[in-house]
Amino acid sequence: MNAADLRLPVDVPSTALFTDRYELTMLQAALRSGTADRRSVFEVFTRRLPEGRRYGVVAGTGRVLDAVENFRFDSGVLDFLASRKIVDEPTLAWLADYRFRGDIWGYPEGEVYFPGSPILRVEGTFAEAVLLETVILSILNHDSAVAAAASRMAVAAGGRPLIEMGARRTHELAAVAAARAAYVGGFASTSDLAAGFRYSIPTVGTSAHAFTLLHDSERDAFTAQVDSLGGNTTLLVDTYDVAEAVRTAVEIAGPELGAVRIDSGDLLLLAHRVRQQLDDLGAGKTRIVVTSDLDEYAIASLAAAPVDAYGVGTQLVTGSGHPTCSMVYKLVARADGPGPDAPLRPVAKKSMGGKTSIGGRKWAARRPDADGVAEAEVVGTGPVPAELADHQLIVELVRGGEVVAREALDAVRDRHAAARAGLPLSATQLSRGEPVLPTEYL
């Protein structure tokens, strides 16, 4: 069975403890006070984009849906909570039967977002919705940060394929999530087999410097690799002398050699030299792949170089300097009493230091200009203006606890490309600037 069919993170049978302790202590207090069953609306949003970013990318929604489905308190989890006296017996009894039975709405995965965008809306009783805060934020903050970095790198690459190679630079489970988010943002493949197994992302990879160093000579290493993997393989040519390695590679694999990889040195200079050398040797179709601590700026600097593909690791899986999106999960409306039909009242935190929020259950739309290019992110709590009715962004994801919007990862990837293309051209600039769209509140 494919792991994707299990709808579980790798080796994690339950997501119930992917939470902060105070979610459970709030639950206990609310059960005791009689407010736990009050209908409530929580929203996920960010107050600002990371410095210099022009747009954000919604990623991880599919993983959120998996996490909600698998948020269960089994006997082992309950025994842990009881033994540590984290909650009392009535709360343990309530948790034993926990299932999220509410509704979730949000921006579809792959869509772009801006400060104040209601990226996700969770509706249900206070008790069932508050428990999901930490796991939802954990997933969305991580995946959206990686996807935003990936999107910027994809723009910088100008259509040349990108390979995700960051598994060794992050936690083993985060590596799988990062590969998925990178694919959403525009990467073509991953080196991580767990990501390929779980999400059917194309996987690539041939050899490292260790393989060359293992053999008595570079020629022996190349011969072994070509004999095993065929002439269409990618040979790593910077272990010793690049020019000599390229010459040897073509001698062994022939002019149909698939690719050479350069992992160090002045990539711009080396790419031009290697391209000329390959062409002179009759290997005009042999591709050049570059790696070595690339980020979007380094990729952009190679735009004029004869590079065919980029491999990116550390900078990608760490969000290219911004490993989180600073998303928050805030209560924006709640009922005064129990019951699914109890009317909602807006609520909002008031504080100093820019941590205020806007109360009320929100809708969102992206207003286009006369040419169909987005000009503003519009967020409101009242009726949706008629002129924005066909431009709303929020879709239904979960209804009555049942997922209704699970979709293929390729569809998410295509959505992001379309959403990014619908923004003003300045969205793709790597220079520092404000969000490319203003957020207007109605």
139, part of any domain? no
Phi then psi for residue 122, to 5 deg, are -115, 125
369, part of any domain? yes
- Residue finishing a domain among 321, 338, 366: 321
What is the rounded average pLDDT of the residues 360-384? 97
Are 10 and 98 in the same domain?
yes
Q: How many CA atoms lie within 13 A of 413 on its CB side?
A: 17
Joined together, the tokens standing for residue 266 give: 């002045």
Are 80 and 31 in the same domain?
yes
137, part of any domain? no
Are 334 and 306 in the same domain?
no
Per the structure, the count of domains in the chain is: 2
Measured CA to CA, the distance from residue 348 to residue 98 in angstroms comes to 27
For residue 391, the enclosing domain spans 3-131+326-441
Q: Residue 10: what pLDDT?
A: 46
- Residue finishing a domain among 268, 294, 321: 321
CB burial readout 395-429, b (16+ within 10 A) else e:
eebbeeeebebeeebeebbebbeebbeebeeebbe
What is the rounded average pLDDT of the residues 161-166? 98
Q: Residue 2: what pLDDT?
A: 47
Contact call for residues 149 and 319 (beta carbons, < 8 A): yes
148, part of any domain? no
Joined together, the tokens standing for residue 66 give: 């998996």
392, part of any domain? yes
Domain with 424 in it: what CATH number?
3.20.140.10
pTM, whole model, 2 decimals? 0.95
Are 314 and 330 in the same domain?
no
- Residue finishing a domain among 321, 348, 376: 321
Are 167 and 314 in the same domain?
yes
66, part of any domain? yes
Does pLDDT of 378 surpass 90? yes
Encode pLDDT of 53-98 as tens digits: 999 999 999 999 999 999 999 999 999 999 999 999 999 999 999 9
144, part of any domain? no
Domain with 169 in it: what CATH number?
3.20.20.70
Joined together, the tokens standing for residue 29 give: 């207090």
Are 330 and 301 in the same domain?
no
